[in-house]
Amino acid sequence: MALVELAGRLCLATIFLVSGLGKVPNFARVAEDMARHHVPLPEAALIATILIEILGGLLIAIGLRTRMAASIVALWLAVVTVVYHTSLVVPQNQDQTIQFLKNLAIIGGLLVVVTHGAGTISVDARPRRTRLEV
């Protein structure tokens, strides 16, 4: 089961790492897209997004402060899903529906990590040392 927990975390983390790293060289274009979606302070929001995706992905992958990282990423992804993949004005097309449902599935996986933690193959599971042991 430990390898399954690790594989699950790595699968979840991969999408955030790839997405965050992909935004860096395309910063101006992504910021313009955020502005078109009425995201306030798009450059600052993009910096926050990149940090959440890369740092959150890394923390989830290695299993360090995993519950906190998964909580933050899940909350951020919920906001992104509402801003980018829902529309109350026009009917959604099939691509947007798929993106919406994909994000819901990822949020569900993150919530499982929040509930159960990183598992035994993680930094969180390492034995704790006291100052006297060092």
Q: How far is CA 49 from CA 55, 57, 103, 118, in A?
A: 10, 12, 15, 23
pLDDT at 52: 98
What average pLDDT score do residues 101-106 get? 94
pLDDT at 90 over 60: no
pLDDT band at 110 (very low <50, low <70, confident <90, very high): very high
All residues at 6 or more sequence positions from 8 whose CB lies less than 8 Å from its CB, including other chains: 109, 113
Q: Which residues of 71-106 are buried (b: 16+ CB within 10 A; e: fewer)?
A: bbbbebbeebbeebbeeeeeeeeeeeeebbeebeeb
Predicted TM-score of the model (pTM): 0.88
- 95 vs 7, more confident: 7
Give the pair of three-digit tokens for residue 60. Answer: 């989830």
Number of domains in the chain: 1
Return the HEC string of 56-77: HHHHHHHCCCHHHHHHHHHHHH
Full domain range(s) for residue 94: 2-133
Asked whether the predicted pLDDT for residue 129 surpasses 70, the reply is no
Please state, rounded to an integer, the average pLDDT across all residues of the chain. Answer: 91
Q: Write down the pLDDT at residue 72.
A: 98
Residue 98 has pLDDT above 80, yes or no: yes
pLDDT at 87: 67
Lowest mean pLDDT among 63-72, 87-96, 99-108: 87-96
Which residue has better confidence, 96 or 102? 102
Task: Give the residue with greater pLDDT, 86 vs 5.
Answer: 5
CB distance 13 to 57 below 8 Å: yes
